[in-house]
Amino acid sequence: MKRSGIVVFALLTVVLTGTSVAGPPLDGTYQSTDLGGSVLLGRYSEAYPNANGNLSPGVTLNSQSWDGAALGTQWMYFCAVMVAPPTLLVDNVDANGNGNRTYMKEFVGGSFWLSGTGPWAGGDADYPGTIDTYTEFETIQYESWVRVAAVTNVQAVGHFDNYLDDCLTFAVGNGSEVGSTDFGDPVPTDYPPFLDPNTCDATGTLGGWWNLFTITMSVTGCSTPVHETTWGAVKARYTD
């Protein structure tokens, strides 16, 4: 099934006797450009299941690197879904509805992808993987009970699909909300589209869009491939 509006990566195997993958991602710690590293900053969307649904089960992520002109050239993660209401950790909202609240939002499922030309490059064309855990600690500012701004801290763990499960990537970063359909803002075309929580198709119409910065990504334990095959990847872009 074609998933319109996002980049879908299909892995192709070419069976060659005694041949292994070109090379695993290199172990190391990689930081975003605002921290002096070479990892691109990102942009992401959170699709809402309903109006003012930023805290509702069904919120779906779509995050991609941004090089100033194009999305998703270096890394991306997508299709993780919040399946339960978030946990309220801090409530500083007063009787007039002014102040802030901090929530823990936990997401399940989803995938990630790293380009084979990124700073972790070890020889493979690209490095697809599966998200194991994804948590956001989101602080929302309210004025007279109306949400006016939000920031978040992102923490994620995943494993690469073509290598043993102990081959992991860890990532942390911070996000700042740029706009939302709840505020009446027009949906921009240079942010990742809103994804459906069930199909991952880019058919959502409600949500918010964010900038992601101060990213630190760690890769560890990637040495043994899952298959004694040569793995390639085809990157296909689909639009509505």
pLDDT in tens, 88-120: 999 999 999 999 999 999 999 999 999 999 999
In a domain, 29, yes or no: yes
pLDDT tens digits for range 31-51: 999 999 999 999 999 999 999
CA distance 115 to 86: 32
Of the candidates 127, 99, 95, 124, the residue with the CA atom closest to the CA atom of residue 111: 127
- Range 217-237 average pLDDT: 62
- Longest CA–CA separation in the chain, Å: 70
CA distance 209 to 212: 10
Number of domains in the chain: 1
Residue 18 has pLDDT above 90, yes or no: no
Distance (Å, whole) CA 17 – CA 229? 7
Question: Which of 30-34, 75-79, 198-202, 218-222 has the weakest average pLDDT?
Answer: 218-222
Establish if 144 belongs to a structural domain: yes
Q: Percent of the chain having pLDDT more than 90? A: 79
Is there a domain that residue 177 lies in? yes
pLDDT at position 223, please?
A: 81
In a domain, 237, yes or no: no
Average pLDDT, whole number, for the chain? Answer: 87
Q: Is residue 146 part of a domain?
A: yes
In a domain, 179, yes or no: yes
Residue 39 lies in a domain: yes
Helix or strand holding residue 112 (H, E):
strand 111-115
Q: Which domain holds residue 155?
A: 7-228
Beta bridge partners of 75: 114
Give the model's confidence band at 232: pLDDT under 50 very low, under 70 low, under 90 confident, else very high.
very low
State residue 100 phi and psi, 5-degree precision.
Answer: -135, 155
Does residue 240 lie within any of the structural domains? Answer: no
Q: What is the mean pLDDT of residues 143-153?
A: 96
